[in-house]
Amino acid sequence: MGRMGQIAQTGQVQGAVARDGTRLPEDPMWPATPGRRVVFLVDASSGLEARLIEDWIARTRPEGAASDSILIPASRRRRRRNPIDTRLEDCVATEDETLLAPVRVAWLAPQRGGVRSAGISDLFTLGDPRDPGRLRQSFILRRNPDRCRIVAGDPAPVSELRARWRSAGGAESGETTGLAVFVCRQATLALERAERRLRGARYKVPRFVHEDILALPSFRGGMAHLARELGRQPAHVSRDAARYLREIAATHSTYVIDLAAHLIRWLYTRGYREQINYDGDELRGIYALAQRHPVVFLPSHKSNLDHLVLQYVLHENGHPPNHTAGGINMNFFPIGPLVRRSGTFFIRRTFRDNPVYKFVLSNYIDYLIGKRFSLEWYIEGGRSRSGKLLPPRFGLLASVVDSYRRAKSDDVYLIPVSIAYDQISDVGDYVAEQRGGKKQTESFRWFVGIVRRMKRRYGEIHIRFGEPISLRKSLGPPPPEAEPNPDESSLDLQKLAFEVAVRINRSTPITPNSLATLALLEVGDRALSVREVRESLDPFIDYVRRRGLPTTFPLEQLGSSQGITAVLDTLVEGGVVECFAEGPEAVYAIRTEQHLAAAYYRNSILHFFLDATIGELALLRAAENDVAHPEVEFWDEAMRLRDLLKFDFFFSEKDEFKGQLRREIAMQDPEWEKRLTSSREDIQALIRSLRPFAAHRMIRPFLEAYRVVADALEQSDPAVPVGKAAFVNECLALGKQYRLQRRIQSSESVSQVLFATAYRLAGNRGLLDEQRPDLAAARSQFADEIRQVIRRIDVIDALAAARRAGLFD
């Protein structure tokens, strides 16, 4: 026998007719009740709904069956709070074997394009089509009776509901105060599940979140413990907790979910092609996974559209809306209320010193994991201003891992997601911020600016899903009786976060624009013809083909002049590149002051060429005259470069990294390790054979930014503390000077983002500790290390120029 709150029964088509003669399709069957009295819990928002339900009871009652009906507080149209019928209180207090069966009328949305959903027009006309008022109910029943359905949730005996109530923290045996309220909630949940069979899984949303969490014995006990620890009145702590939960929790509305999908489509299609590119098989696999376990979507964050387009794709493929973490700065009218009702929950930027808030947020995450709702947030924390993936933030991931360790679910799956764009509208803001400008504060005016920027075409949007990560496989089964401890410093947690980032990078597709900007940035301010761009990209196209790297386009597109011209013209339209076509052939160059914008697109694919870059530089070091053991020095230099670049790029564990580097160079020359131990001339010949040369194109801007920071530190008084904000501004000025003096080659090296990362690296090396006795010497040593790497990058640059000139093959 089914149980209230579990799977609903929808019955068969009965061809029923209401009192007014209207035919009602698809009646549910009478509950299977051998020898039991049935009490129907009627969830009706109007007299019409109550009459329709009574008609259904009358025409489906088996001969001799005993039944009764009790109205419960309506789950829709709850503008007036109706008291609970005393007959229900008497029933749950005195009876055991009576079967309680919830029933309601469901109003379906009209069909639009073969799909039942609310439309934008409903926003300006009669409101939510699934929650019509009394007059609209009568109108629908007469004109569109197929939109009116009787829905019955699976029944449960009073004895079972009473036992469930007590296990959830209700009163002890003999006391039933509050049981009727619990039964009404269970009836509503059963009906929600039943109605979802009609509406589809995309409308799976939680009900009674606040009531459920605040009533949990573990939550009440935790509040009491916190009150004792803080020396506060329990009632005051509980009041704050309830307020924080209202501030945090999403409040889903199926009506707003549909409206949001229409608004998202309207917004993104203003600037992008309508068809978003993704793999439907990947989505179907994730959907099947989410039926068994909670899943956490962890997308990259390139644009303000990221969450919106992912939400739209999931909605269009029948997925329920994710519970998406958003910064409280996004909770402004009217965007905040809209996105909260479509799945976003808001959290404060900082709350380390607020234990009550931390406790409430942790319990909210526990609730979502335990109820198997999908979550989503950006593992980077904020949008990438440089185009490459940012270091992961551990806070929310620590909370999910903590929920898993305390057995809120037998497993949780992390879903890495890469969201890539041919071009993005935000890139102008990112350039301004990298040059020292302030981030624009989120507001309605800010949102209007986003909409206005969608006036021109930006190409296509591409969503790729990485291989899911099982917490059970990664961390082992939950330990018995684990205490709450969301530890952000846990090494296991950090490895997990970095593995997510690696899988996001691995699934990020290469776009035509990323390769075109790679070619143009190599020559700085100089212009290239289409033929020269093609010659520059040929070895990279071959490399991408050999490695089988993901792309958004057929590689043949960049093998023709027409294909390259089309790509360059889109960059011209985007204001990143300029074209001079008045001579014998058209030439293209990065526009003045747009090198950081071009670098944004190039940087999105640098990780694919990082092993090749490190291999080149380590081989150069191994071939230098002062090296006695080239094979040892090669690996030492590779590990030094890995450490030097660790705050800008993601690297595998050391042994795995070495294996990747071996395979990378073996793809060029299977006998490379033997040549490394042969002679210096053999190593130099090996270097000349590498295709393509990558170091000068890939990491020069980063190393030149490091050089600016290293020089600034070397010139600073070791006894004076180095504050980040003032120091980064000083580096911006020094970087502009170096660029004017041509002491650095890359305009994109002058970047607040890159200087901030170099500052972090300096701190990691102990170069910001004014108490260190050898600080001046250490800073000089760091600056010299950077200069030596740049010198080797210059050698690679010269070798690339020699190859272009035909001096060697």
- Whether 714 and 779 have beta carbons less than 8 Å apart is answered as yes
Q: Is it the case that residue 20 has pLDDT exceeding 70?
A: no
DSSP string for 587-623: EEEEPTT-HHHHHHHHHTTGGGGHHHHHHHHHHHHHT
- What's the confidence (pLDDT) of residue 773? 95
Rounded to the nearest integer, the mean pLDDT of the chain is 90
- Sign (positive/negative) of CA torsion 23, 24, 28, 31? negative
From the CB of residue 678, how many other CB atoms can be counted at a distance below 10 Å? 14
**CA–CA separation, 26 and 13 (whole Å):** 4
Q: Which residue has the tokens 């002062």?
A: 626
Task: Give the chain's end-to-end CA distance (angstroms, integer).
Answer: 78
Instruction: Give the tens place of pLDDT for each residue, 548-558.
Output: 999 999 999 99
**CA–CA separation, 279 and 235 (whole Å):** 51
Nearest to 552 by CA among 392, 394, 359, 423: 423
Peptide bond into 692 cis (omega under 30): yes
Q: Is it the case that residue 395 has pLDDT exceeding 70?
A: yes
Mean pLDDT across 265-294:
95
Task: Measure CA 279 to chain center.
Answer: 17
Q: What is the pTM of this model?
A: 0.90
- What's the confidence (pLDDT) of residue 214? 92
Q: Is it the case that residue 15 has pLDDT exceeding 50?
A: no
CA separation, residue 797 to residues 65, 790, 802 (Å): 89, 10, 9
- What's the confidence (pLDDT) of residue 9? 32
Q: Is it the case that residue 21 has pLDDT exceeding 60?
A: no
- Sign (positive/negative) of CA torsion 595, 600, 605, 607? positive
**CA–CA separation, 409 and 373 (whole Å):** 11
- What's the confidence (pLDDT) of residue 736? 96
- What's the confidence (pLDDT) of residue 16? 46
- What's the confidence (pLDDT) of residue 484? 75
- What's the confidence (pLDDT) of residue 29? 85
- What's the confidence (pLDDT) of residue 172? 61
Q: Is it the case that residue 14 has pLDDT exceeding 60?
A: no
Instruction: Give the tens place of pLDDT for each residue, 436-452.
Output: 888 888 888 889 999 99
The 8-class DSSP code of residue 349 comes to S
Task: Measure CA 222 to chain center.
Answer: 30
- What's the confidence (pLDDT) of residue 805? 85
Task: Measure CA 360 to chain center.
Answer: 22
- What's the confidence (pLDDT) of residue 18? 45
- What's the confidence (pLDDT) of residue 66? 84
Mean pLDDT across 239-259:
93
Mean pLDDT across 63-69:
87
- What's the confidence (pLDDT) of residue 83? 81
**CA–CA separation, 370 and 379 (whole Å):** 21
Tell me what percent of the residues of the chain surpass a pLDDT of 70: 94
- Whether 15 and 23 have beta carbons less than 8 Å apart is answered as yes
- What's the confidence (pLDDT) of residue 10? 33
Q: Is it the case that residue 90 has pLDDT exceeding 80?
A: yes
Mean pLDDT across 200-218:
89
Work out the angle between the directed axes of helices 306-316 and 254-268 (0-180°, nearest 10): 120
- What's the confidence (pLDDT) of residue 125? 62
Six token digits for residue 609: 């060429």
Q: Is it the case that residue 726 has pLDDT exceeding 90?
A: yes
Instruction: Give the tens place of pLDDT for each residue, 100-114.
Output: 999 999 999 888 777
Window from 32-41, 298-307, 589-598 with minimum mean pLDDT: 32-41
The 8-class DSSP code of residue 193 comes to H
Q: Is it the case that residue 122 has pLDDT exceeding 90?
A: no
Instruction: Give the tens place of pLDDT for each residue, 288-333.
Output: 999 999 999 999 999 999 999 999 999 999 999 999 999 988 888 8
Mean pLDDT across 788-795:
97
- Whether 187 and 72 have beta carbons less than 8 Å apart is answered as yes
The residues, ordered by sequence, that sit 6+ positions from 716 with a Cβ below 8 Å of its Cβ are 722, 779
Q: Is it the case that residue 26 has pLDDT exceeding 70?
A: no
Window from 25-34, 499-508, 615-624 with minimum mean pLDDT: 25-34
- Whether 783 and 710 have beta carbons less than 8 Å apart is answered as yes
CA separation, residue 165 to residues 111, 184, 745 (Å): 40, 12, 71
Mean pLDDT across 162-179:
76
Q: Which residue has the tokens 């008497």?
A: 90
Q: What is the CA radius of gyration of the chain?
A: 32
Q: Is it the case that residue 11 has pLDDT exceeding 60?
A: no
Nearest to 286 by CA among 311, 317, 307: 317
Six token digits for residue 394: 């551990």
The 8-class DSSP code of residue 472 comes to H
Q: Which residue has the tokens 């120091």?
A: 727
- Whether 107 and 140 have beta carbons less than 8 Å apart is answered as yes
**CA–CA separation, 7 and 716 (whole Å):** 70
For the range 679-685, what are the long-range contacts, defined as Cβ-Cβ under 8 Å and sequence gap of 24 or more? 680/623, 680/625, 680/630, 683/619, 683/622, 683/623, 683/630, 684/623
- What's the confidence (pLDDT) of residue 55? 93
Task: Measure CA 413 to chain center.
Answer: 13
Mean pLDDT across 523-539:
94
Mean pLDDT across 444-470:
93
Mean pLDDT across 356-385:
95
- What's the confidence (pLDDT) of residue 112? 78
